[in-house]
Amino acid sequence: MSEQGSGVAEESARAGRRELTYAVLLCLAGAGLALWAATRTWAVELAERPPLPPIRTARTGGALLPWLPALAVVGLAGGGAVLATRGAVRRVLGALLALLGLAVAAGGGYGLVAAFGGEVSRQWPALCLVGGVLAATGGGLTAVRGRGWPAMGARYERPARGGDGAPVPGEGRVTGRRTTEAWDALDRGEDPTVS
């Protein structure tokens, strides 16, 4: 390969890693922000009880919309899963994260316009809306561009087998009892305890 061709491939790989980093950070930051905002007090209800002082009941976003923190937690897990997937699976995961982010944003938008009883705080639903949009953007970026991004190393995957299903030459079960042979088997991805 020419120097110019390897430079283009290297720049393409660098751009892919940069996009992957942006997408993962958007998903994690958006879902984290939404989760944090959903655990804050969105409304405080006062129950009058004359002649006693009123009872204040604080309600978080999670209490008002129970599915909201659950979706945010799934978004956090999905943001990490983007790193562990590749190809078409990564793109499908990105589409699911985009939908999930939109659902979280919808929950934040609902919190902005809903008439909850009592004193209402609008900044937490707004932050939840922003977090959902960030997560949806990261998921959308993954769905559109994720197929060509680098994947985790194949270091810990099982080695490939030949076309007939036989192991590639140089592989095999550990036959001796020496410790170094067991460690070598582990390095090849084999279980030295299986006979």
Burial class (CB in 10 A: 0-12, 13-18, 19+), 3: exposed
pLDDT at 54 over 90: no
The domain spans of the chain are 10-148, 159-195
Residue 14 CB partners (closer than 8 Å, separation 6+): none
Rg for the chain (alpha carbons), in Å?
25
Q: Which listed CATH number (1.20.120, 1.20.1530, 1.20.140, 2.60.40) goes with 10-148?
A: 1.20.140
pLDDT at 171: 52
pLDDT at 42: 87
pLDDT at 180: 76
pLDDT at 2: 56
Q: For residue 38, give the nearest of 67, 58, 68 by alpha carbon.
A: 68
The structure tokens listed for 130 are 């922003």
The residue with greater pLDDT, 71 or 166, is 71
pLDDT at 47 over 80: no
Task: Average the pLDDT over each of 4-13, 31-40, 108-117 and give the range with the smallest value.
Answer: 4-13
Mean pLDDT of the region 64-77? 94
153-186: pLDDT as tens digits: 655 555 555 555 555 554 555 455 567 777 777 8
Residue 149 CB partners (closer than 8 Å, separation 6+): 16, 17, 19, 20, 86, 90
pLDDT at 181: 77
Q: How confident is the model at residue 69 (pLDDT cuts 50, 70, 90)?
A: very high
Q: Which DSSP category does 154 fall into? A: S
